């Protein structure tokens, strides 16, 4: 008999506010030095879409915060798993900026978002331990890896892993990169079950590069000259991140495959962080080239970035939930019992991780 750690339920929250690329036309963009870009917005938007694939993104309504939408996605995951919430041993919440109320500039995660969500869910059991994970965009996958470790050691049987972010509250609207970011939340219930075959989480890999790469993503002052230096916005060195991801993410994926003892031909789906469509395709291409394969299988990589943008930690669990339930806007994807899938991500830190997972329909 195998001791398997399996995702038994999923849920996601897609915010209601739709923001198109054209909506950014009212904002004049500047570079880091405060120099305006001397090209029409239409040209900026066209190049942006060609590189990132993003046509629109979603923002939360003014009354919601990250913990609010995290709780909404958690409710759906618990219902989907068919468990009693008081049975949960751990609640792990991946995020990077805590709760930021509309109209404020202060991030807030005291108490932790996990504690807030446990409170919102009405869970009384004190043995249900709630805590946060700050690991950049790979935070949700890291939460799965962490939960699996507790479960295999016998310290937990049922865990709730949530990813939630409201990046719209941290945007410098005079920075072209503001067009990338979005809001969203996704969650899953992870349970340990014995079975005759090995399934669920098969293996994982993870790495942190901090010598030269730690500040590729950071909080910095606005691009507009005269901006208050005490007000910080999310900033990034896009080219450096792009090159870093191409170099290191395929290796992390290969490491997870090796530890699982899996054959590349068996991979059916790759759920990769929705950061940039062009980047994601290049990463997958380089991953297959590690196995001397030039032709990438059709429909191997579901995408949600076109309509949902980059919601950081929430992209992978949201995409997985929507594919699993058949609600993804991208071309039709299906998951079948026994499918080998990969979850992979890269983000601030700079952190990378990957999970090899054998899908279970039950």
How does pLDDT run across 325-348, given as a tens digit for each residue?
988 766 678 899 999 999 999 999
pLDDT at 97 over 90: yes
pLDDT range class, residue 31, cuts 50, 70, 90: confident
Domain range list for the chain: 2-195, 200-358
Q: What is the pLDDT of residues 137-186, one digit of tens each?
A: 999 999 999 999 999 999 999 999 999 999 999 999 888 889 899 999 99
pLDDT at 330: 63
pLDDT at 132 over 70: yes
**CATH architecture, domain defined by 200-358:** 3-Layer(aba) Sandwich (3.40)
Q: What residues contact residue 34 under an 8 Å CB cut-off, 6+ apart?
A: 223, 224, 225
pLDDT at 362 over 80: no
First to last CA, the chain: 17
Q: What residues contact residue 298 under an 8 Å CB cut-off, 6+ apart?
A: none
| Global confidence as pTM | 0.94
2-195 and 200-358: identical CATH topology:
yes
Residues 313, 164 contacting (CB under 8 angstroms): yes
Q: What is the pLDDT of residues 210-259, one digit of tens each?
A: 999 999 999 999 888 888 888 899 999 999 999 999 999 999 999 999 99
- Please, is 157 exposed, middle or buried when counting C-beta atoms within 10 Å of its C-beta (0-12, 13-18, 19+)? middle
And the tokens for 207? 């790495």
Question: Right CATH number for 2-195 from 3.40.630.10, 3.20.20.10, 1.10.287.130, 3.40.47.10?
Answer: 3.40.47.10
DSSP for 87-134, please give it.
Answer: G-SEEEEE-SSBB--TT----B-SS-HHHHHHHHHT---TTSEEEEE-
């Amino acid at each position: 008999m195998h001791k398997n750690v399996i995702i038994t339920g999923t849920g996601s929250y897609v915010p209601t506010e739709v923001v198109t690329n054209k909506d950014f036309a009212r904002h004049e963009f500047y570079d880091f030095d405060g120099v305006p870009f001397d090209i029409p917005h239409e040209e900026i938007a066209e190049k942006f879409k060609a590189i990132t694939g993003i046509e629109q993104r979603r923002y939360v309504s003014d009354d919601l915060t990250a913990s609010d939408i995290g709780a909404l996605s958690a409710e759906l995951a618990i219902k989907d798993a068919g468990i009693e919430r008081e049975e949960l041993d751990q609640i792990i919440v991946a995020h990077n900026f805590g709760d930021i109320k509309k109209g404020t500039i202060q991030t807030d995660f005291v108490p932790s978002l996990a504690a807030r969500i446990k409170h919102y869910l009405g869970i009384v059991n004190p043995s249900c331990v709630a805590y946060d994970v700050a690991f950049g965009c790979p935070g949700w996958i890291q939460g799965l890896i962490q939960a699996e470790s507790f479960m295999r050691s016998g310290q937990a049987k049922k865990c709730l892993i949530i990813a939630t972010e409201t990046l719209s509250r941290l945007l410098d609207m005079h920075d072209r990169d503001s067009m990338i970011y979005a809001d969203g939340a996704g969650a899953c219930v992870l349970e340990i079950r014995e079975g005759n075959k090995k399934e669920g989480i098969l293996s994982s890999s993870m790495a942190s590069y901090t010598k030269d790469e730690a500040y590729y993503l950071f909080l910095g002052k606005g691009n507009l000259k005269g901006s208050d230096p005490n007000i910080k916005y999310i900033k990034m060195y896009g080219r450096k991140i792009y090159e870093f991801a191409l170099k290191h993410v395929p290796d992390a994926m290969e490491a997870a495959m090796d530890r699982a003892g899996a054959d590349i031909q068996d991979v059916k789906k790759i759920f990769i962080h929705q950061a940039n469509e062009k980047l994601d395709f290049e990463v997958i291409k380089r991953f297959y080239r590690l196995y001397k394969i030039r032709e990438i299988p059709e429909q191997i990589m579901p995408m949600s970035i076109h309509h949902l943008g980059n919601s950081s930690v929430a992209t992978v669990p949201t995409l997985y939930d929507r594919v699993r339930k058949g609600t993804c806007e991208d071309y039709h994807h299906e998951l079948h019992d026994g499918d080998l899938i990969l979850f992979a991500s890269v983000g601030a830190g700079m952190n990378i991780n990957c999970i090899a997972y054998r899908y279970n329909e039950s």
